[in-house]
Amino acid sequence: MVSVAAIIQARMGSTRFPGKSLHPIAGIPLLEHIIIRLQQVSEIDSIILAIPDNDTNAPLLEFAHRLHVPVVQGSEEDVLGRFIKAGESVQAEHIIRVCGDNPLIDTPLLRSLISAHLQAKADYTLPHEPVPLGSSCEIIRLETLKQISALTEDSIYREHVTTWFHDHPTSFCIKRVNAPHYLRDKNFRLTVDTDRDFQLMEALFKNLPHSPSSPLNLEAVINYLINHPETTALNIDIAQNNWREKNI
């Protein structure tokens, strides 16, 4: 049986918003929103929190223990090594790279990514067209990550886990998947890195229906943002550094 593990990359020491991983949105910690969404995806066999191994991140250990989510600790700078360690801890064949900044991952898109990745026996799978920042994940074969780890000690590739694929697009099997129509080429910012990002999230969770068993629907989110430009304006101008902007 193919094993797929969702690995959430998180830390307490965010530069622009320290402690954001546990900062509440609608009364629930940011990370818990992510876990709730991942739990809706039956194709995921394991959910693991991958955090740096220092005292600063002790609150994340307590959080994970409360939710009965396994934790793997590793180097803060060597995120690639941390992901490999987390995948090996559950003997995963494929891992989903989940950013701990993204409480509104689109679950239909995630299911499509997993399905296409496994069917194509791909090394790396991602959306074909641009989607709102924070709405997607990446799927990677664990053995491929191990190969990359053996090839490079460059900090760019150790810290930014999938950058190697973008810089070496012909080295592995890369699969691109069409995103749902409501996400395609939308430039809304649905990641959380600043106070204004939290303000936008609070507005969405206040004005749209949701529950632990029925998380916020991304199509409804996109329609709300289209029809409420004053909400979109809360964070649309915030610059985001992205090592994976290159086309592949």
Q: d(Cα 64, Cα 100) in Å, to the nearest integer? A: 13
Secondary structure letter of residue 186 according to DSSP? -
Phi/psi at 46 (5° precision): -145, 145
pLDDT at 2: 67
What does the pLDDT read at residue 13?
Answer: 79
User: Does position 212 have pLDDT exceeding 90, yes or no?
Assistant: no
β-pairing, 4-9 with 46-52? parallel
* CB-CB contact of 87 with 137 (8 Å): no
Q: Residue 103 is encoded by which pair of tokens?
A: 């409480």
Residue 241: pLDDT band by 50, 70, 90 thresholds? Answer: low
* Domain 4-232 falls under CATH 2.60.120.200: no
Residue 242 has pLDDT above 70, yes or no: no
Q: Do residues 83 and 50 lie in contact, with contact meaning Cβ atoms separated by under 8 Å?
A: yes
Give the integer Cα–Cα distance in Å for 72 and 208.
Answer: 34
Task: For residues 139 and 131, give the distance between their C-alpha atoms in angstroms, rounded to a whole number.
Answer: 16
Supply angle C-alpha 244, 52, 3, rounded to 5: 70
The whole model's pTM is what? 0.94
Q: Which residue has the higher pLDDT, 212 or 168?
A: 168
Residue 135 has pLDDT above 80, yes or no: yes
Handedness of CA 151, 156, 160, 166 (dihedral sign): negative
Model confidence band, residue 36 (pLDDT cutoffs 50, 70, 90): very high
Give the residue carrying structure tokens 């994340």. Answer: 60
Residue type, 94: H
Averaged pLDDT score across all residues of the chain: 93
Average pLDDT, integer, range 71-76: 94
The pLDDT, as a whole number, for residue 244 is 46
Cα distance between residue 99 and residue 138, in whole Å = 10
Please give the structure tokens belonging to residue 59: 């609150």
As a whole number, mean pLDDT of residues 1-23 equals 88
Q: Specify the pLDDT at position 246.
A: 43
Distance of CA 95 to the CA centre of its chain: 11
Sign of CA pseudo-dihedral 167, 72, 111, 142: positive
- 91: alpha, beta or left, given left = phi > 0 and alpha = psi -120 to 50? left
Beta strands in the chain (DSSP E): 4-9, 24-25, 28-29, 46-52, 71-74, 94-99, 124-127, 138-141, 174-177
Report the amino acid identity of residue 237: D
In this prediction, residue 248 carries a pLDDT of 42
Q: What is the mean pLDDT of residues 184-201?
A: 95
Say how far apart CA 95 and CA 86 lie, in whole Å.
Answer: 9
pLDDT above 90 coverage of the chain, percent? 89
Q: Which two tokens mark 113? A: 């990514």
